[in-house]
Amino acid sequence: MRRAFSDTLVRLAGENDRIMFLTGDLGFQVFDDFRRLYGSRYVNVGVAEAQLMCASAGLAMEGWRPIAYSIASFATARPYEQIRISIGYPGLPVVIVGAGGGYTYANSGVTHQAPDDLGLMALIPGMTVVAPGCPDELCQLMPQLFTLAGPAYLRIGRFGEIDYRTDASAIIGRLRLLRDGEQIALIATGDIAPVVLDAADRLSHDGIMPLVYQCHTLKPLDENQLNELAKRVRAFVVVEEHLPVGGLFAAIAQWRAGRRSAPDLVRLGPSDAFMLGNPDRDELRRRIHCDAESIRAICRQVWTGEKA
C-alpha cells in the first residue's frame, strides 16, 4: 500500500502544482520519484512532528495542499495539540498520513503501535478519517481527499497488502460492498479487510454466506447504508485493529444506540490494554481474535444463534 501511495502522490502532484509533501524524517527511497520530479515541493522537517503539523498548517493558509507524513503513532498522538489547534480549529485542508496504523509495527512495541489513531483523529471536529484496505482502494480514495475543504486523516498500511476487486467503487463516506450474502454483515476497516474476506471464503465451506463490507471511511460514517443494511441482517460482526473506544465498533454502537431496533452487534479486536512484548502481526492478530479462523469461528456461533 505504501508503494501505491507514493505512485498516486507523484501522479496527483503532476496534476496539481499546489500539492506539497512534508515528512518527519521518514520514507527514504519510497519517495525518491517525488523528490526527483518535484524537489521544491518536498520538505523534510526532521524528527519534529509538532513542527510538521504547524508547517503544514502554514502552507495550507497560503493556498498549498500539504500532505504531512509519518508513522501513524508519531503522526497522531505525538503532535495531537498542533493538529487540533493549528489544523482542526481553522479547518485547514491538510491531509495527514499515518503509515502503519493499528498493529502494523506490532513487533516494535507500544511506542510504534497505533491502535488509537482513528479514534484520536475522529475526535477532531471536521476531520475526515479514512482507512483503505488495499492498494487499489487507496488509489481510488486518495484523490478524493484533495477535493475536501477541510482536514483529513489517511491511515495506510505498509507493504504486501493483497488487492481485492469488486464492482463497487470506493467513495469517501460510503460503505463498500465486497461480497453479498445474508443474515450476517461482516464489517471491517483498514487493511484487516483481506483477512475478513479470507474468513468469508472459509465460511462458504460451512454453508455460511455473510455480507462483507469495508468501512474505509470511519468519519463521516455511512449511516444511510447502515440503516438499509439493518433491514437485511440480524447481526453485525465488526472486525478492527483499534481499541474499543473511538474506532469502528464505537462509531457503529453510537449509531445503533439511536435506533429503536437494530441488529445484534459483535466486536472482534483488541481489548482496552497495551500490547506488551514484541509479537509479529500475525501472532498478535490471533491473540486478539482478528485472524481468519477466529473470525470464522465467531461467525459460525452468530449464524447458529449461539452467544458469541
Question: How far is residue 275's CA from residue 139's CA, in Å, rounded to a whole number?
Answer: 31
User: What pLDDT score does 287 carry?
Assistant: 92
Q: Percent of the chain at pLDDT above 70?
A: 99
**Closest of 223, 249, 254 to residue 237, by C-alpha:** 249
Q: What is the pTM of this model?
A: 0.96
| pLDDT digits 0-9 by tens, 40-87 | 999 999 999 999 999 999 999 999 999 999 999 999 999 999 999 999
Question: How far is residue 252's CA from residue 236's CA, in Å, rounded to a whole number?
Answer: 9
Q: Region 81-106: what's the mean pLDDT? A: 96
- Going by pLDDT thresholds of 50, 70 and 90, the confidence category of residue 307 is low
| pLDDT digits 0-9 by tens, 162-207 | 899 888 999 999 999 999 999 999 999 999 999 999 999 999 999 9
| pLDDT digits 0-9 by tens, 122-154 | 999 999 999 999 999 999 999 999 999 999 999
Amino acid at the residue 202: R
* pLDDT surpassing 80 at residue 159: no
User: What pLDDT score does 220 carry?
Assistant: 98
Strand partners, 265: 236
Q: Percent of the chain at pLDDT above 90?
A: 87
* pLDDT surpassing 70 at residue 308: no
Ordered domains of the chain (ranges, CATH): 2-156 (3.40.50.970), 176-304 (3.40.50.920)
* 139 CB-side CA count, 13 A: 14
Whole-number mean pLDDT of the chain?
A: 95
How many other CB atoms are found less than 10 A from the CB of residue 224? Answer: 11
Contact between residue 266 and residue 302 where contact means Cβ atoms under 8 Å apart? yes
Angle at which helix 292-304 crosses helix 193-204, to 10 degrees, equals: 50
